[in-house]
């Protein structure tokens, strides 16, 4: 606390106290009666998507708050809030402030200023998405000249009393207000992918996703062969060495091989630095080598080659970079941590340019 002693300059203190208290009385914010109304024909066409909808993609309505008896500096210090379910953004213009507020949930608007009174104005109607409204905010001077003279007389009389020690509580420091920063826009992307696995088997596919700073993606890869997928446990499992020995001991047998490469993986993608994003995902993978073996009677038996195959868990970790509307990705994937494949993708990013 600070200690202020009343000394010979009591008249100056009286005058300054009166002036400061008068300023406080003058700074009374009010909404001008019947000034709230819809602006006919107004449509929010602000090209910045941040001023079109809130973080939940609910569209904004626009309230043009005109001001009277408020300076340009004071106007830029006004703060606007809505009820808990709403978001607000502001644009300070000449003679007025445009308040963007979530239309669907707005019930009232709270207006505050560090030197003025704070008011809450209940909206008289439901706001329509993307439409405009206007109202007038007034700094209404309520203290009259007679009231000021009466205060001066009382303060002068009290100043003639014996000097007193007055304790004044030091006001708490106010934290600086965090400036509003534009939100990163949502972007949807598509890439076409090529992969090659441990056994030099190629596959093709695509990845789709959407993200702001964090998002989701889904990728699908295949070599176009789907025969016997899901039937791995129904046929004989044999490793490649035993299979070769079996064929060597039965030279009259013939065989035909086919490889199944397929995966469906989904996950999250998030920005790590600048245009660089990281992908982590999991899903189903199948990389299987099948042999159809025919005996001398042309009877077929299917074999699943166990040491060259895996199915079940599919995992993916990768990097994807966005350069404007151009996307390039480099991923590593696995099936049950037995078979690994590298993937490269090229694609397009829809939405606002990065």
CATH code of the domain in which 248 resides: 2.40.160.20
Q: In the prediction, which pLDDT does 25 show?
A: 46
Q: In the prediction, which pLDDT does 218 show?
A: 97
Range 300-318 average pLDDT: 91
Residue 195 · residue 341 · CB < 8 Å: yes
Q: Do 220 and 320 fall within a single domain?
A: yes
By the 10 Å C-beta count (0-12 exposed, 13-18 middle, 19+ buried), 290 is classed as buried
Q: Do 104 and 35 fall within a single domain?
A: yes
Q: Do 123 and 269 fall within a single domain?
A: no
Number of domains in the chain: 2
Q: In the prediction, which pLDDT does 10 show?
A: 56
Quickly state the pLDDT bin for 300 (edges 50, 70, 90).
confident
Q: Do 207 and 272 fall within a single domain?
A: yes
Q: Do 198 and 85 fall within a single domain?
A: no
- 181 domain-assigned: no
Q: 105, 139, 173: which is the final residue of a domain?
A: 139
Measured torsion, CA atoms of residues 66, 70, 72, 77, in degrees rounded to the nearest 10: -90
Please state, rounded to an integer, the average pLDDT across all residues of the chain: 83
Domain assignment of residue 85, given as a range: 29-139
Q: Is the pTM of this model over 0.95?
A: no
Q: In the prediction, which pLDDT does 155 show?
A: 63
Q: Do 124 and 272 fall within a single domain?
A: no
Q: Do 209 and 339 fall within a single domain?
A: yes
Q: How far apart are CA 3 and CA 168, in angstroms?
A: 7
Q: Do 210 and 345 fall within a single domain?
A: yes
Taking alpha carbons only, the member of 245, 189, 239 closest to residue 218 is: 189
DSSP H or E segment with residue 333: strand 326-335
């Amino acid at each position: 606390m600070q200690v202020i002693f009343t000394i010979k300059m009591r008249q100056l203190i009286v005058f300054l106290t009166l002036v400061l208290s008068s300023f406080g009385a003058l700074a009374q914010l009010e909404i001008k009666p019947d000034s709230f109304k819809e602006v006919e024909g107004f449509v929010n066409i602000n090209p910045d998507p941040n001023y079109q909808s809130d973080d939940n993609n609910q569209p904004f309505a626009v309230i043009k708050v005109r001001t009277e008896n408020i300076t340009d500096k004071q106007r830029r210090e006004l703060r606007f809030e809505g009820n808990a379910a709403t978001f607000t953004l502001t644009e300070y213009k000449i003679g007025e402030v445009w308040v963007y507020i979530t239309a669907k949930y707005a019930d009232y608007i709270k207006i505050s200023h560090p030197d003025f009174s704070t008011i809450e104005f209940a909206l008289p109607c439901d706001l329509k998405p993307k439409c405009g409204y206007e109202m007038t905010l007034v700094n209404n001077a309520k203290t009259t000249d007679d009231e000021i003279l009466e205060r001066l007389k009382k303060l002068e009389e009290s100043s003639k009393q014996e000097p007193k020690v007055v304790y004044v509580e030091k006001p708490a420091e106010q934290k600086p207000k965090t400036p509003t920063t534009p939100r990163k826009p949502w972007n949807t992307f598509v890439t076409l992918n090529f992969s090659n696995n441990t056994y030099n088997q190629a596959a093709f596919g695509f990845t789709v996703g959407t993200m702001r700073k964090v998002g989701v993606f889904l990728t699908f890869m295949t070599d176009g062969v789907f025969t016997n997928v899901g039937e791995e446990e129904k046929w004989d499992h044999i490793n490649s060495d035993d299979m070769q020995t079996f064929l060597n001991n039965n030279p009259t047998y013939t065989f035909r091989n086919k490889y199944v490469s397929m995966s469906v993986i989904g996950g999250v993608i998030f920005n790590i630095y600048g245009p660089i994003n990281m992908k982590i995902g999991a899903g189903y993978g199948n990389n299987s080598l099948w042999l159809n073996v025919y005996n001398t009677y042309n009877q077929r038996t299917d074999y699943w080659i166990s040491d060259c195959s895996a199915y079940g868990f599919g995992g993916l970790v990768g990097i994807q970079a966005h350069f404007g509307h151009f996307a390039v990705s480099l991923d590593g994937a696995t099936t049950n941590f037995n078979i690994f494949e590298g993937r490269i993708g090229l694609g397009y990013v829809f939405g606002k340019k990065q």
